Amino acid sequence: MKKIDKERLLLGIAAPVLAIVVAFLVTALVLAATGKEPFSAFGIMFDYGLKSDSQVYILNKATTYYLAGLAVAVGFRMNLFNIGVDGQYRLAAFFAAAVGGALTLPGALQIPLIILTAVIVGAMWAGIAGVLKVTRGVSEVVSTIMLNAIATAIIGYLLQQGRLGHLDEAGTKISTKPIPESSHFFEFPTTPSPVWGFIVVAVVAGVAYWFTLSRTRFGFDLRTVGQSGSAAEASGVDVKKMVITSMLISGAVAGLIGMPTLLNDSYEYSGDFPVGIGFTGIAIALLGRNHPIGIALGALLWGFLERGTGKLEFEGYDKEIVGVIQGVIVLCVVIAYEVVRRYGLKRQQSKVGAELAAQAARNNDQQEVSA
């Protein structure tokens, strides 16, 4: 059976690799169509993307993306499509920033408090969609999209002077009150710029995700619901409770997404806080096959693409090209996974059939014929 395992691993890697290769080919065609030379563009991207300052940039970006991928993946494993990760992390980061700016406790106390605020806000916001789903049958796709819009409105309303907003000294930018220096997260003193310490939290979250899903009863129940709701129910899983629980977890992880930026970079929530990372998370979770290591690779790839194409702009290429690559990757990934999954299943079925037929022939035993 070692053989089948190895094969499964190979098939698992085949899909994303195939998708990325196809994506680059399509991108090359697009570049060629716009009259640019595609391969020198890729050359620039790789050259620049592998420089040491780029490496730091990619790691920092990937930290955020990784958490986003995990948040989405928790839902995916449950067959829930949490599109609302975007709203959840923004709302969470906003309230966490507000709490952080309002208090001046020792860092050892205040940092956990800020993170906890974010986690709770994210979980609550996602929980609304979970409750609506189990009590009223509202599709989480619809409700989380709506909640994203509501989150935007709430932040817009509260981020004003006199409410939770704070005008900076120059009087040009409104943000939450900056978090005191004592509550900044630690950094790795790398050159030329530091790597955010929050990467450690991201790694811990990834390990926890892996362990919970594959080694605990709770994780088994969650995966069961994701694979077959009817079988899960018959096996004794309280599916409704599971929907709410997993939405809460997904939202809690989503709450962490804004933390690397908040605690390692911006120290406040303002109008230029990064947006749209929840959607990036969907792409990364898909790319990484909901696997903790796959998601990490996906997050790094995303960071690399952004870094590399940033440079392209200076070289006279259209920076939109990164969007094309990313979009095509996601599209290819979805198709490639389905193709590889079906192929793998079929292949295994026939393999099992072959092994059994051989066994039966040897024993001259009763033979199972697939009818």
Partner 1 sequence: MELRGITKRFPGVVANHDIDITVRRGTVHALVGENGAGKSTLMKILYGMQKPDEGTIAVDGEQVSFHNPGDAIARGIGMVHQHFMLADYLTVLENVVLGSEKLHGIGDRARARIKEISDSYGLGVRPDAMVEDLGVADRQRVEILKVLYRGARTLILDEPTAVLVPQEVDALFDNLRELKAEGLTVIFISHKLGEVLSVADEITVIRRGTTVGTADPKRTTTKQLAELMVGSELPSPETRESTVTDVPMLTVDGLRLSATDPDGVVRSVLDGIGFTIHKGEVLGIAGVEGNGQSELVDAIMGMRHLDAGVLTLDGDDISRTPTRKRREGGMGVIPEDRHRHGLLLEAPLWENRILGHVTERPNSKGAFLDLKGARADTERIVREYDVRTPGIDVTAASLSGGNQQKLIVGREMSHAPKLLIAAHPTRGVDVGAQAQIWDQIREARREGLAVLLISADLDELIGLSDTLRVMYRGRLVADADPATITPEELGSAMTGAATGHLEAPDESPAPKDTAPESAESTDTDPRNGGEDR
Total number of residues binding partner 1 (CB under 8 A)? Answer: 41
322-341 core/surface letters (b: 16 or more CB in 10 A; e: else): bebbbebbbbbbeebbeebe
**Residues from 322 through 361 that contact partner 1 (CB under 8 A):** 345, 348-357, 359
Nearer to partner 1, 81 or 220 (CB): 220
**Residues from 190 through 219 that contact partner 1 (CB under 8 A):** 214-219
With contacts defined by CB under 8 A, name the span among 21-29, 148-156, 235-243, 269-277 that binds partner 1: 235-243
Interface with partner 1, residue 33, by CB under 8 A: no
Interface with partner 1, residue 369, by CB under 8 A: yes
Cα separation, 72 vs 141, whole angstroms? 12
Task: Give the H or E element holding residue 188.
Answer: strand 187-188
Interface with partner 1, residue 1, by CB under 8 A: yes
Interface with partner 1, residue 136, by CB under 8 A: no
Among 275, 252, 285, 300, CA closest to 59: 300
* Contact status, residue 75 vs residue 143, Cβ threshold 8 Å: no
Interface with partner 1, residue 6, by CB under 8 A: no
String of contacts with partner 1 for each residue 237-266, x by CB under 8 A: xx----------------------------
Shortest CB 221 distance to partner 1, Å? 6
Interface with partner 1, residue 366, by CB under 8 A: yes
Shortest CB 286 distance to partner 1, Å? 18
**At residue 360, what is the residue type?**
A
Of positions 231, 275, 293, 339, contacts partner 1 by CB under 8 A: 231
What is the dihedral angle through the alpha carbons of 6, 10, 12, 16, rounded to the nearest 10 degrees?
160
Of positions 86, 140, 221, 268, contacts partner 1 by CB under 8 A: 221
Of positions 167, 227, 319, 338, contacts partner 1 by CB under 8 A: 227
Interface with partner 1, residue 370, by CB under 8 A: yes
165 C-beta neighbours (distance < 10 Å), count: 18
Complete DSSP assignment for 65-107: HHHHHHHHHHHHHTT---TTHHHHHHHHHHHHHHHHHH----H
Place of tokens 């053989």: 3
Cα separation, 66 vs 298, whole angstroms? 8
Cα separation, 119 vs 218, whole angstroms? 20
With contacts defined by CB under 8 A, name the span among 62-70, 148-156, 232-240, 292-300 that binds partner 1: 232-240
The residues of the shown chain that bind partner 1, judged by CB under 8 A, are 1, 4-5, 214-221, 223-224, 227-228, 230-231, 233-238, 345, 348-357, 359, 366-371
